[in-house]
A and B are shown apart, each in its own frame.
Chain A
Amino acid sequence: MEAFARLDAIAVPMSVPNVDTDQIIPARFLRKPRKDGFGQYLFNDLRFDDAGKEHPHFVLNEHAYRGARVIVADKNFGCGSSREHAVYALWDWGFRAAIAPSFGDIFYGNSLKNGFLPIVLSAEEVASLLTQLRARPGAHIVVDLARQEVIGPDGKPHPFEIDAFRRDCLLQGVDELDFTLGFRAEIEGFEKRQAEEVGWI
């Protein structure tokens, strides 16, 4: 996993609620191999029309947002299907963080496991960021994970919460699976106890 570095990057405003993972990446692309990358399919059906032409008004197609690394969205971003490909697609496109008033639970967890940072800010803070980003397309947002702070285009800091364990894993690029393998003895102990108590599973 890649360590999360401080970001100072173009942010894309996406002011619709309940952006689900079917929209982030439609189901028909999930069978593609991971190594080919999923960025090309990000928001595929919103980005392109039936003839495969870009919709000029879809926000990611606007010239000002090329090279964006942060996405600012409305509530419940990433709801729906558990497909981790939603994170792969955002990541492969170049995004490293998303800011929203709330996220789909599974998407939130998947993000952290892939070095992608989901940031929860209040609905008012997100609304203010969205307004600024729409007023000045291509404006930058700073994401500082070590200080747990987002700085808007207007220079205003917005502190955010993230649990310390996840933060440290992200900052150091440490993988959870390696960490857990160190708990082997405790897992074995649990299994022994369980076999005595509930032998029927």
Chain B
Amino acid sequence: MAAPRTLFEKIWDRHVVHQREDGHTLLYVDRHLIHDGSRRAFEVLGERGLRVRRPDRTFGTPDHYVPTTSRSMDGVDDPDRRLMVESVTKNAREHGVTVFGLDDPRQGIIHVVGPEQGLTLPGMTLVCGDSHTSTHGALGALAFGIGASEVAHVLATQTLWQRRPKTMRISVEGRLGPGIGGKDVILAIIAKIGAAGAVGHAIEYAGSAIRTLSMEGRLTVCNMSIEAGGRAGMIAPDETTFAYVEGRPFAPKGAAWEKALAFWRTLPSDPEARFDREVALDGAEIAPMVTWGTSPENAAPITGRVPDPAGIDDAERRTAMLKALDYMGLEPGTAISGIPVQRVFIGSCTNSRIEDLRLAARVAKGRKVAASVHAMVVPGSGLIKREAESEGLDRIFKDAGFEWREAGCSMCVGMNGDLVAAGDRCASTSNRNFQGRQGKGARTHLVSPAMAAAAAVTGHFTDVRSLLQG
């Protein structure tokens, strides 16, 4: 019998083109996704007179720089920004690559669009010039982010030189409480293992709490693998995965579907497979999470308080914490529930899928955004926007006083001009609370969509469980 292998190892082994003795592996890339940040890579290709090797395996959509107030670039005066958006379509056309442009309802955040279109499939290797490519691992793919030089390398050769990362299994067992979702799970994981906790590792999320998550919840968990330092994050494909993939535009059909399904069922880690590291969490203990600092590891339950640096022995860590609290304008010991917010952002590749919008709408329904708060909802793709509108979610949001926008990265990173003002505090469903991430001096608190909606309607962080009762 063959030695037991993990999900990661099974996918890796099947994609080795060339193995060097020094450990470097030339790995084949099944799917390559591009976006409006990929301009530099096409420049490199042009400088060398190279062509895209597999345009049929390459797909893209503009997301980072697109306006969310309209579907036209006409209002965008910054020529650099226009060029970023226009170049992805232009480059794609020149190289025969499929791109869902601004005028296409399939446009959206690349990590939302890939799974939605059935471009992301179990057992695949998938890369994209963006760190949150780990998202796609939720379908049981090996997916990771790469830099611009590597994007050029993949465009030209459909391969990448990689060293095999170590493996880490994070098991979350038990039942998640009501109102607790994928976002709370991953924030609790990062709070436990730290922002560098999984550096050099491919993570597999496992356990009953993970298996009971919907596909949307799983995508949220895998999305933030990079915030834990992980190279990739993945979840074994199962019936939830197959039900999600079936019937999507680029998913296999008919006999090919049956054949694919039979193969995908062989992918989950063998029971005896060994991981380099194991971490376990109790799912029943996870509360709605809120970050209070400038690293995703600075997360606490809504029932908690801003920690006191005085209690930290390590001098460097104490200094880092003091700096973070100073930037965030928070006093040690403050109860998290009750901290006022001025902005609410529901969106990003972490939490802009239909289920996220439904959860937020459930909280917003029949309530009003607090007078002191400016709140907006930015769906992850044009198709999600349509779906939400057909369910009447847009009305719920608009009636409550939320802005309802077009798809894009938007305030997650602010490259399109959707920014948080200096000193303002934002409850955000995105993935990074770094200094200046949402704008210079902006104070970001990462939360789930339900918690963001709760903050919007109460004007401060509130335990969403108290709003969901009855």
Contacts and interface: CB of A to CB of B under 8 A. Distances in A.
A79 interface: yes
Given A22-B437, A109-B150, A201-B121, A183 B18 contact: yes
Contacts of A26: 436, 440
B290 to A, nearest CB: 19
B26 A180 contact: yes
Contacts of B37: 30, 83
A75 B121 CA distance: 35
Contact of A28 (B43, B124, B252, B414): B414
A156 interface: no
Interface string B135-164: 000000000011111101100111101010
A176 B20 contact: no
B365 interface: no
Contacts of A82: 129-131, 145-147
Contacts of B199: 76, 102-105
Interface string A139-150: 000000000000
B90 interface: no
Nearest to A15: B316
Contacts of B193: none
A177 B434 contact: no
A51 interface: no
B186 interface: no
A8 interface: no
Contacts of A102: 196, 199
Contacts of A16: 316, 319-320, 323
A187 B196 contact: no
B403 interface: no
Nearest to B156: A177
Contacts of A183: 17-18, 26, 157, 159
A180 B147 contact: no
A73 B61 CA distance: 36
Contacts of B84: 31
Interface string B396-421: 00000000000000000111000000
B169 interface: no
Residue with the greatest number of chain A CB neighbours at <10 A, chosen from B147, B195, B316: B147
A110 B147 contact: yes
A110 B20 CA distance: 21
A159 interface: no
A201 B316 contact: no
A50 interface: yes
Contacts of B17: 183, 186-187, 190
Nearest to B153: A177
A63 B99 CA distance: 49
In the A-B complex, the 8 residue pairs with the closest CB atoms: A200-B252, A110-B147, A113-B149, A76-B196, A31-B80, A84-B148, A84-B147, A82-B131
Interface of B: 17-18, 20, 22-24, 26, 28, 30-31, 37, 40, 43-44, 48, 53, 57, 65, 78, 80-81, 83-84, 121, 123-124, 129-131, 145-150, 152-153, 156-159, 161, 163, 165, 195-196, 199-200, 226, 229, 231, 252, 256-257, 259-260, 263, 295, 316-317, 319-320, 323, 413-415, 422, 432, 434-437, 440-441
Given A102-B199, A187-B53, A198-B263, 9 more contacts: A18-B195, A28-B415, A30-B37, A31-B80, A79-B196, A82-B131, A110-B148, A177-B48, A199-B259
